[in-house]
Amino acid sequence: MLGNEKTILGIQQENFGTSTGQDWFGTGNFITSFSPVDGNEIGKVRATTKEEYELVVSKAQIAFKEWRLIPAPKRGEIVRQLGDKLRKYKEDLGKLVSYEMGKSLQEGYGEVQEMIDICDFAVGLSRQLYGLTIHSERPSHRMYEQYHPLGIVGVITAFNFPVAVWSWNTCLALVCGDSIIWKPSEKTPLCAVACQNILAEVLKENNLPEGICSLINGEKEVGEWMSKDERIPLISATGSTRMGKEVNQVVAARLGKTLLELGGNNAIIVTPDADLKITLTAAVFGAVGTAGQRCTTTRRLIVHDSIYDQVKVILKNAYEQLKIGNPLDASNHIGPLIDQDAVRNYLLALEKIKEQGGEFLVHGGVLETEEYSSGCYVKPVIAEASNELEIVQTETFAPILYLIKYSGDVLDAIDIQNGVKQGLSSAIMTTNLREAELFLSHQGSDCGIANVNIGTSGAEIGGAFGGEKETGGGRESGSDAWKIYMRRQTNTINYSTELPLAQGIQFNF
């Protein structure tokens, strides 16, 4: 599956491109996937042309009309079969995720396990697409709310979770009765091809139509086609805040719906009552896991001045023990950044830290020995800085941790934590019940995720995932996130022989 082999989970390499469920084709320009692990070419995909895009949307429309008529629990059975396929291919797909994206092998396996978990969640959900019964003010009337399939769901995903985020959207949208068109990141197209092929096996084995779930590859313009397309009522987009604002503006102009999962600038507050052992584990993994390329990466550590120097020593010692190298080797803690553009952004951030008055506790740089031949391996950095610095206010997708001192009580720390434009994930380390409850109260974190005594990364699929402010406000995965994939309808039935009007209005003739 890796290196020079010509197939990705059974798909011939020369056919990578566009898929409407069971057929693979493509005539657009080639997009080449290079592994950040060693710089080698893994394979090529065909970019979707405008003509092919129109065919994909047409097939998705046709498939939706059939798929929505299948009872939801039967749709859940298809998702259950997808989960079984993912169990079968977990090792192969996990390795591909690690090799194409650059995250550790265990994180690659974990991402596929997350797909399996969301399949299980969606299967149960297929019998729980509930509405409400409401007492009417009019006699002999029954009023209720119900949910119907929405239509085509457009899914745009980022490179850092090349398969899991697709599954969050797809599994829920499938049980809701929607069809899906997926535009993955052009940086990790082969992971998408593999997932599409796995689902295509399930569709084919159940004699289901093409177009229930389709794959389109390409650059920015492909996402623009989707965003402008009135045939796609919902666009779910994961990526940078800049990208999300562009998508939101275009979709809103046609009064479509968006589900946005955008940037994060996540902080851990460390109070004098923190357990420093678990604080260290949470902070280090949160800051360097996936080489700092998670939307939930810990980017700021806000530490009380009474323990600040102690935390500095502990952190510096921990960073000195970190191993950087091939992510397929389980003994390494940190793999590469995704590509040379990411490396340039990392280096630019280091320059800005210097210019703006930050001081390095742990210095960075690019690793350039033969072992790091791809040029994508960088050293994790710790910088002492003020929360007000422009670079601290900015999300840099790299292993850079800002160490920020606070004095006073926990509300002062919360003010610092909330003092950024992003609002995804947050955490507090404390054994003080009052501090923990304040952090979770309406006076506390303004993020979509707020944790106590665990880090900022590593969300479970049972809870809705997403954030506030410039993170976009979207919610994916668990809880009642399924409602975004359906249209809501209020129904009133009059079973009397009269027609009383609401609010006591009289209309006699």
Catalytic amino acids? 261
> Which contiguous run of DSSP H or E holds residue 44?
strand 41-46
The pair phi, psi for residue 19, each rounded to 5°, is -140, 140
Is the separation of the CB atoms in 180 and 153 below 8 Å?
yes
User: Tokens 């700092």 correspond to what residue?
Assistant: 292
Q: How many CB atoms lie within 10 A of CB 473?
A: 18
* Partner residues linked to 31 by β-bridges: 45
Nearest to 191, CA basis, from 1, 49, 460, 397: 1
Inter-axis angle of helices 105-125 and 164-176, to 10 degrees? 10
> Which contiguous run of DSSP H or E holds residue 282?
helix 276-288
- Widest pairwise Cα distance in the chain: 91
Is the separation of the CB atoms in 358 and 349 below 8 Å?
no
Residue 403 to residue 385: CA distance in whole angstroms: 6
Question: Would you say how long the chain is, in residues?
Answer: 509
- CA torsion 120-126-127-131 (nearest 10°) is 130
Tokens of 184: 């993955």
Residue 445 to residue 428: CA distance in whole angstroms: 9
Rg (CA), the chain: 24
Is the separation of the CB atoms in 300 and 269 below 8 Å?
no
